[in-house]
Structure 1
Amino acid sequence: MIPRVLSIAGTDPTGGAGVQADLKSIAAQGGYGMAVVTALVAQNTRGVRAVHRPPDDFLRAQLDAVGDDVVVDAVKVGMLADADLVRTVHDWLAAHRPPVVVVDPVMVATSGDRLLDAEAVDALRELVRGVADLVTPNVPELAVLAGGPPATDWAGVLAQAREVAAGLGVRVLAKGGHLVDDPVVRDALVDPDGTVVETVGARVETPHTHGTGCSLSSAVATLRCARGSWPDAVAEATRWLRESVAAADDLHVGTGRGPVSHFAGLWARGGTETPPAAAEVTEGWWRETAPVRAAIDALPFVRALGDGSLDRRAFDDYVGQDALYLREFARALAAASATAPTAAEQAFWAAAAEGAVATELQLHGGFLPPAELFDATPGPALTAYVDHLLAAVARGSHEVLVAALLPCFWVYEDVGSRLLPQAHDGHPYAAWLRTYGDQAFAATTAEAVRLVGEAAARARPEVRERMRAAFAASVEHERRFFAAPLGAATTT
């Protein structure tokens, strides 16, 4: 299930911190983010200009509006401007008891100034003691919770984290990002019993770290729901944040200390292009090949096949070549079955291979003596088409292979269905027209189109482009294949 995560924090109009950063972080971890605003903050990348604090009853109304309607899997608590707001949030959390509560104690500004008075700090300690599962202070905030001066080395950070964890009965995520003399960034998950799980990562040299505390805490809250383990959640969240900080310079947001790039990894690995729907892909391929298919319709061979006036020598030449083609086509279908990702797709392509050998070759055997069915010398059109299919098999891409195979279904069904009305009694090629104009073949073709379209929709863009090219090439091979027999007959 997708984690439903509530951020209770202030705002940042430039999107780098507060609830805006939380919502991005939650989404980046695969969660559904919600936000209750504790303060409207007029700030940008250069600093805070003004803060508007909502009334306590309005804050509680926001919280109740969420809690009365939505099952909340995790809560991240950020900026709480004073003791009354802290108590309002504490009371609501105590009443609702969300499964996961992570508190990012926003108490010290980047300048070093204290943001909360002593009463608010005491109220925040009680909130952490009463309802929090994890608290995520930076070095100055950890010092406030511990009641001492900020630590100057990692050993001092760990000592204060153990003190806070034991004193408040809460896990502490101690963060070493402020220890700028350390060439690496150290983080540690410290349990109340003193257990410590450390993670170490490379320090990213960038000034653009605005909102890292907000982002990390909301990421951990989301990942704890998804992974079920605090150490796993912290390890993944710190990896993600390091990647996001490393890409911060690319954002060019503001002229001060800019935000991290929350979705950098997702953009790099998945891109921002929405995959097309399956039908959208195949219909696009079909439209693209319309000129080639029109050329097939205009071929003298196809017209004469439809009205029954086709010279029998040309038809027999076609049947001989097609028998050889179907033998290789069946092998390519078997390869598609072997590489198919699901049992249903395996079964479909295997059945199609059997049909190519049994049903269609039986049809061809009705026009040529069975003993002569495979006696034809492969012509250039046949050889080129088969080489195209075998190349698709050899490259090992199931997606490209089935795209190359699809026109042998779709073009034949298209031609057969439109020629079928001419299959009157006494038509010399009525059996051919009825085979490819038959509703059963239309249903098989529709399933092939659906499966190939779904494979294309799942594929990476570069694979989808190779599929398109393979499909278009096969349609052109179909045109040449239909053109060859009459050409051969007229030259003999």
Structure 2
Amino acid sequence: MSAAVPRVLSIAGTDPTGGAGVHADLKSIAANGGYGMAAVTALVAQNTRGVRSVHRPPTSFLAEQLHAVSDDVSIDAVKIGMLADVEVIATVREWLLAGRPPVVVLDPVMVSTSGHRLLDPGAEDALRLLLPLADLVTPNVPELAILLACEQASDGDAVVAQAQELARRHGVRVLAKGGHLEGPDLRDALVEPDGRVSDFHSPRIVTRNTHGTGCSLSAAIATRRAAGSTWSGATGTALRWLSESIRHGSALDVGGGHGPVSHFAGLWARGGLDIAQTPGEIADEWWQHTAGVREAIDGLEFIRALGDGTLDRETFAWYLAQDAVYLREYSRVLAQASRLAPTAQEQTFWITGAHAAVATELTLHERWLDPCAGSLVRASPTTTAYLDHLGAAADSGDYERLIAAVLPCYWLYHDVGSRLHPLSDDAHPYRDWLDTYAAPEFAAATRTAIEIVTAAAARAAPRRRAAMAEAFRSSARHELSFWRAPLDAAAAR
């Protein structure tokens, strides 16, 4: 039994302050990885200081709620909380017998925080009949004594002994909770029907934020169990989660009495509140990152002269010679991207790009350069700096950083080529260069590169995505320098 996202139904009363009942259950279920649903047994006017009144809707409506859920949704676990009276308990019992949910956790809400018994003797007897239908029951110390009709235990060993007796009588697991006992350490014990005991120890947290802890814990255990954990594993994990939530409860500053726990404190701290970006949103954001670079590229005399065909041949030949040096190393960088790629589709894409850099691109250069002299060309400082940047990304073994670094060589070249190409005609001296970067094949390759890189960025954690964005921006700046270098070199000659 294991659900990727467990569908967990809470059957309990409400709490308008959000700290207990179905409100706490739904938070607990979500915080522990489940999808929460709720059938309301009672409407409770309460706050952190206490209960003011309870309105119990007709049990026929409770039955309608339960069947409305189970007729439509496959339920992986049920957590049962406040059941106000005999009629409510009987309605839930009938539904459980008919549906037999795979996981049932019963939190017997029988005693208020102030120590008052919440159920009349008839309802207490009815609740005992519910125990065999549960997989786990989670009473606190006073509730355990009521279920056994005996005196309340005063120490941990006595609590465990009572839990063993309850488990034996009803054939149900019992979580004996030590929160009502004194002492610096807290002992909780999971007791199996055969009497075996698994102990869980933790430091006691001194706090007033304990409202709804029983509701929250039982819902968390139900969710973890439905997700595939053992009962012991689900209990241990849920107890650790609850301790973390209790520690952060005071930060919520809710109410003047016993405040709630902070169900999502750990998720907020570890995951943050940022909304995950889609690949399309990342593409838009990164393209905007290059707005200044693209504006500067458009303002270069080299680009203007390349577009209108007035660029002198010697300057263009110098540029292509440096591009040839660049592409030889660039092909090795793309081959490394192929080696690191996690999917066959990505491996194929990057190695195809590596071959294109060597074959198609260098073939274009051979039309302009002396093949013998081309191998003797030294990389300029600008070319060297760009290649060092790409080489460092390749040598890092960080696939995401590497592909972000190579993306501008696709994206910016296609942008420039596709915008300059319409300005040319068949007599344009550099038409074959413009044809290459405005070609449908290069446009398709650019789109694929953008899709691969931005999909990887969308999957990445925020810090890793930021590193990818910086590698992308750095390469864009190197592209600007690369296109500025030919006229700088011409001026220095």
TM-score by length of 2: 0.95
After TM superposition, give the deviation of residue 142 of structure 1 in Å: 0.9
Kept after mapping to 2: 8 A contact 1:423/1:434:
no
Tell me what 1:152 maps to: 154
Match of 1:263 in 2: 264
Does the CA contact (< 8 Å) of 1:134 and 1:172 recur in 2?
yes
1:95 maps to: 98
Query: Paired residue for 1:141?
Result: 143
Question: Counterpart of 1:42 in structure 2: which amino acid?
Answer: A
Which runs of structure 2 are paired with 1:263-302 in the superposition (5 Å)?
Answer: 263-302=264-303
Question: 5 Å matches for 1:202-281?
Answer: 202-281=203-282
Percent of counterpart pairs with the same letter? 60
Structure 1 position 3 matched with structure 2 position 2: no
Give the whole-Å Cα distance in 2 for the aligned partners of 1:52 and 1:254.
22
Residue identity matched to 1:16: G
Point out the more displaced range, 436-445 or 299-308: 299-308
Match of residue 50, structure 1, among 50, 53, 76: 53
Which of 179, 182, 185 is the matching residue for 1:180? 182
What is the aligned partner in structure 2 of residue 25 from structure 1?
28
Is the 1:320–1:375 contact (alpha carbons within 8 Å) kept by the matching residues of 2?
no
| Residue 87 (structure 2) aligns with | 84
* Structure 1 stretch displaced more, 143-152 or 154-163: 143-152
The 3-state SS of whatever aligns with 1:158 is helix
Which amino acid is the alignment partner of residue 362 of structure 1?
Answer: T
Provide closer, same or farther for how the CA distance between residues 25 and 292 of structure 1 changes in structure 2, counting only shifts above 3 A: same
Distance 1:296 1:374 in 2: 28
Paired position in structure 2 for 1:121:
124
Deviation at 1:394, TM superposition (A): 4.5
1:70 alignment partner, one of 66, 70, 73: 73
Q: Once the 2 structures are TM-superposed, how far is the Cα of residue 282 of structure 1 from its aligned partner?
A: 1.6
For structure 2, the 5+ residue unaligned runs are: none
- Shift of the 337–246 alpha-carbon distance from structure 1 to 2, 3 Å rule, reads farther
Q: What secondary structure, in the 3-state scheme, does the structure 1 residue paired with 2:42 have? A: strand
1:106-141 CA distance string (max 9 Å, x none): 001111111111111110000112x21111111111
TM-superposed CA distance for 1:403, in Å, is: 1.7
Q: Distance in 2 between matches of 1:437 and 1:10?
A: 66
Q: Which of 36, 40, 44 matches 1:37? A: 40
3-state SS, counterpart of residue 193 of structure 2 = coil
Q: What are the ranges of 5 or more consecutive residues in structure 1 without an aligned counterpart?
A: none
| Farther-moved stretch of structure 1 (118-127 vs 294-303) | 294-303
* Structure 1 residue runs of 4 or more that deviate by more than 4 Å after TM superposition: none
Quickly say closer, same or farther: Cα 1:202–1:359, change in 2 above 3 A: farther
Change over 3 Å in CA distance of 1:330–1:244 after alignment to 2? same
In the other structure, the counterpart of 2:401 is 400
Describe the superposition over 1:327-346 as per-residue Cα deviations: whole angstroms up to 9, x where unpaired.
22223223333333334323
1:395 CA drift (Å): 4.5
Amino acid at match of 2:138: T
For the Cα contact (< 8 Å) 1:46–1:257, is it kept in 2? yes
Q: What letter is aligned with 1:434?
A: D
Task: Tell me how far 1:163 sits from its aligned partner.
Answer: 0.3
Deviates more, 1:116-125 or 1:327-336: 327-336
Please state whether the residue corresponding to 2:227 is helix, strand or coil. helix
Deviations 1:71-119 (A, max 9, x none): 2221111001111111111111111211111100000111111111111
| Distance in 2 between residues matched to 1:151 and 1:142, nearest whole Å | 9
- Greater alpha carbon shift after TM alignment, 469-478 vs 38-47: 469-478
1:168 is aligned with what amino acid? H
Q: Match of 2:391? A: 390
Q: CA offsets, 1:9-42, max 9 Å, x none?
A: 0111111100000000111111111111111111
For residues 41 and 338 of structure 1, what CA distance do their matches in structure 2 show?
A: 61
Q: Which shows bigger deviation, 111-120 or 325-334?
A: 325-334
Matched residues in 2 for 1:191 and 1:401: separation? 53
- Secondary structure, aligned partner of 1:488: helix
Amino acid at match of 1:92: W
Change over 3 Å in CA distance of 1:179–1:346 after alignment to 2: farther
